[in-house]
């Protein structure tokens, strides 16, 4: 499995597409930081500097989420599995004792490590927030945890569409699901006055969207769902359960498919 992880990381680091993607993300974030800071300080009108700093990163972190969502997730997992299925590796795996569970786990860990690398490249930008008194370290750590568990679920969603559907349509279908999960809960409260939506349903919709939770974290929204735990904790638990469920389903279906091929 370690060899599979190294193979995935080699793919992410050596291919020009991923290097360009990382460069675009860093440049966009740096430009966004400059533009938002300039705009916020121009409109501050005597507000304390710490409030301006919080406002800057309240915009920057959701922007970072959208960049990763639009440029890397779940595109890298889809491309990786598509290469395997169109090449000779997919058939060779049926003849080896590696098993599809280890293949899936290795590719998933490689994608997560690639994601952590991409997040790590942006640490200097977010360290400025802590240094200037904007967001606190615990807020950034909470955002990082939401990033990782949310994108892990999104990666597995992309793999599901690649393995069980038509690979040529996997990008469109996976992004349709992922974007719906991310943005519909964000705009649902604005539609509440027009459409009668129960409050409980709105809360459950927020749990589906890491983007909603990131906004809640950076705006210091300490809302407790069901009076038990903050909303970001529920979101993390939900995405962990979703990821584990998708992983089990994928492993079972892939092993079942391999056994059917061997029987024929």
Residues 100-150 pLDDT 10s: 777 788 878 888 888 888 888 888 888 877 776 677 888 888 888 999 999
Q: Judge residue 53's burial from the number of C-beta atoms within 10 Å of its C-beta, 0-12 exposed, 13-18 middle, 19 or more buried.
A: buried
Contact 60, 33 (CB under 8 A): yes
Nearest in space to 64 (alpha carbons), one of 138, 144, 130: 144
Report pLDDT digits (tens) over 137-185: 888 888 889 999 998 898 888 888 887 777 677 778 888 888 888 888 8
pLDDT value of residue 242:
92
What string of H, E and C letters represents the secondary structure of 213-256? HHHHHHCCCCCEECCCEEHHHHHHHHHHHHHHHHHHHHHHHHHH
pTM over 0.85: no
> Residue range 184-199: average pLDDT?
71
pLDDT of 244 > 80? The answer is yes
pLDDT of 200 > 60? The answer is yes
pLDDT of 263 > 70? The answer is no
pLDDT of 251 > 70? The answer is yes
Contact 158, 80 (CB under 8 A): no
Using CA of residue 78, residue 14, residue 102, residue 92, what is the dihedral sign? positive
pLDDT of 261 > 70? The answer is no
b/e per residue, 233-247, with b = 16+ CB within 10 A? bbbbebbeebbeebb
Omega cis (within 30) before 256:
no
Please tell me the number of Cα atoms within 13 Å of 246 on its side-chain side. Answer: 21
CA dihedral 155, 156, 161, 167 (to 10 degrees): 60
**pLDDT grade, residue 255 (50/70/90)?**
confident
Task: Report CA 180 to chain centroid distance, whole Å.
Answer: 13
**pLDDT grade, residue 241 (50/70/90)?**
very high
**Mind giving me the DSSP string for 99-162?**
-HHHHHHHHHHHHHHHHHHHHHHTHHHHHHHHHTTSS-HHHHHHHHHHHHHHHHHHHHHHHHHH
pLDDT value of residue 245:
93
pLDDT of 23 > 70? The answer is yes
Q: Cα(222)–Cα(213) distance, rounded to whole angstroms? A: 10
The mean pLDDT of the chain is: 77
Provide the pairing of β-strand 229-230 with 224-225.
antiparallel
pLDDT value of residue 20:
79
**pLDDT grade, residue 96 (50/70/90)?**
low
pLDDT of 17 > 70? The answer is yes
**pLDDT grade, residue 243 (50/70/90)?**
very high
């Amino acid at each position: 499995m370690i060899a599979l992880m190294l193979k995935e990381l080699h793919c992410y680091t050596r291919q020009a597409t991923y290097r360009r993607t990382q460069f675009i993300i860093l440049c966009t974030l740096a430009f966004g930081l400059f533009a938002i800071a300039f705009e916020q300080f121009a409109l501050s009108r005597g507000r304390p500097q710490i409030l301006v700093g919080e406002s800057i990163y309240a915009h920057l972190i959701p922007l970072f989420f959208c960049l990763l969502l639009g440029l890397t997730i779940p595109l890298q997992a889809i491309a990786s599995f598509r290469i395997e299925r169109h090449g000779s590796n997919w058939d060779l795996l049926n003849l080896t004792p590696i098993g599809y569970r280890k293949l899936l786990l290795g590719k998933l860990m490689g994608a997560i490590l690639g994601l952590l690398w991409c997040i790590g490249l942006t640490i200097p930008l977010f360290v400025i927030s802590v240094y200037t008194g904007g967001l606190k370290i615990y807020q950034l750590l909470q955002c990082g945890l939401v990033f990782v568990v949310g994108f892990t679920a999104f990666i597995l969603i992309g793999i599901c569409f690649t393995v069980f559907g038509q690979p040529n349509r996997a990008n469109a279908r996976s992004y349709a699901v992922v974007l719906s999960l991310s943005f519909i809960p964000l705009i649902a409260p604005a539609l509440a006055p027009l459409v009668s939506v129960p409050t409980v349903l709105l809360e459950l919709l927020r749990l589906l969207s890491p983007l909603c939770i990131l906004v809640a974290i950076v705006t210091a929204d300490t809302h407790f769902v069901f009076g038990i735990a903050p909303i970001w904790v529920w979101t993390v638990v939900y995405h962990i359960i979703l990821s584990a469920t998708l992983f089990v389903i994928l492993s079972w279906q892939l092993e079942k498919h391999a056994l059917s091929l061997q029987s024929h």
